Amino acid sequence: MGLKEAYQEKLEAQFKEWSAKVKELQAKTEMAKADAKIEMHKHLQTLQAKQEAAQQKLKELQEAGADAWEKAKPGLESAIDGLKSAWESVKKHFA
């Protein structure tokens, strides 16, 4: 397994973990009271947007050739950092 493939595999595992966390938050949102539900929904939308952006960057990495994937890597790492920050913000508000 090459470096690109190993990196890609690691990121795919991270995305599965994040997807599970987003689904967990969605379930909590459904059970929340009205005021809390509105606030949770706003945070959930932000989190989902960050997740979609990171998934798009992963797709770009997957499609990049062996020589171009290093150029795609920083954008993906930035998107993942944004996703992590959004998740930490959600945890602070609703943990």
Supply the CATH number for residue 38's domain. Answer: 1.20.120
**1/6: higher pLDDT:** 6
Q: Is the dihedral of CA 10, 12, 16, 17 positive or negative?
A: positive
pLDDT of residue 18: 81
pLDDT of residue 95: 58
pLDDT of residue 39: 78
Counting the structural domains of the chain, the total is 1
Give the range of the structural domain holding residue 48, as residue numbers without chain letter.
Answer: 3-94
In this predicted model, what pLDDT tens digit does every residue of 74-89 receive, in sequence order?
887 888 888 888 888 8
For the chain, strand residue ranges (E) read none
In this predicted model, what pLDDT tens digit does every residue of 6-35 receive, in sequence order?
888 888 888 888 888 888 877 877 777 777
Enclosing H/E stretch for 32: none
